[in-house]
Amino acid sequence: MRVLVTGASGFIGSVVTDALVRAGHTVTAMVRDRSSAPAFPPGVEVVAADLLEPAQLTAAGVARGFDGVCHLAALTRVRESRMAPLRYFQANLSGTANLLTALEVGTERTGVAPAFVFGSSCAVYGDVDLTGVPESRRPDPSNPYGASKLAAERLLGHQAGTGLLGVIILRSFNVAGAVEGHFDHDDSRIIPAAIAVASGRRDVFRINGDGQALREYVHVGDMAAAYLRALEGATTGGCGVYNVGSGVGVSVIDVLAAVGRVSGRPVRREHCPPVAEPRALIGDSRRIRAELGWGSPQSSIDRIVADAWHHGRAAGGTGVPPRQRNVPIIN
């Protein structure tokens, strides 16, 4: 397939790009800034464009037509979205609309309706306190990030109904870990932040409350495999929705223990007052396993942490900035 990957310079997008190349696809990687793009495999076409600039999408050749699209370009920080809701809706909804407009031109030219895989989020469910959240649960996002993702999902469903593409929506939970050459630089997330403390780049990991709230994690390699399965499973005119997660609840304390086991170093911590949050948010990912044949063999917390630790060190760091002191940590 000729596949366009948006957000290809991001953590997940870069791993998806590599996986597509290994699977024999012809890949066009779209980035916002060529200077910050990672080293892609040989044969990958790299184009630069901002989703909010339709003229740039045209110049990048998005309207030429593609067999498949993996749309990962987005703003993704929940807390930041509360301070800048317009920015999040512009990037995540308007950007998706601009991309679809360019792709529609390509479909009209070539007659090929692409398979479109959209990287969504469990944030669309809102502040549920459940184990085994199914795709059938009515979405109720509690922040602008989740709301913007849900709005984009609905737009994609309507566009699929025109027969101009086939859509699969992947609602991921917490994507983590690393593969060779790719590790998570976002130190606002729990695992990179815990590794920063274990490696001595930060002094302390701050825990809100008792650290027993349960979340689930999926290895970035398994997440990339879900994109490949979704490209194969999309049908023209259809719109499928799938949770993508391990189904295993892991607490903050469990994560810190895993980092300690892998690194051989304790993670110094402080407990802060609790914040309002669900005590458990764990998805039901049986549908993607049954219908698309996806699996998550790499998604144990020990494997995720070990890969994040070892691949980060092999790349000359831990995926976090230089030493910082007393940085507030995620719940």
Which active-site residues does the annotation give? 145
Phi, psi of 132 (to 5 degrees): 85, 45
Q: From CA 205, how far away is CA 198, in angstroms rounded?
A: 9
Q: From CA 274, how far away is CA 176, in angstroms rounded?
A: 24
DSSP state letters, 142-154: -SHHHHHHHHHHH
Q: Under 8 Å CB-to-CB from 145, ≥6 apart: which residues?
A: 75, 76, 77, 78, 80, 81, 88, 92, 121, 123
Amino acid identity, residue 35?
S
DSSP state letters, 238-267: -EEEEEES----EEHHHHHHHHHHHHSS--
Cα 282-287-288 angle, rounded to 5 deg? 90
Q: Under 8 Å CB-to-CB from 83, ≥6 apart: which residues?
A: none
Could you count the other beta carbons within 10 Å of the beta carbon of residue 280? 17
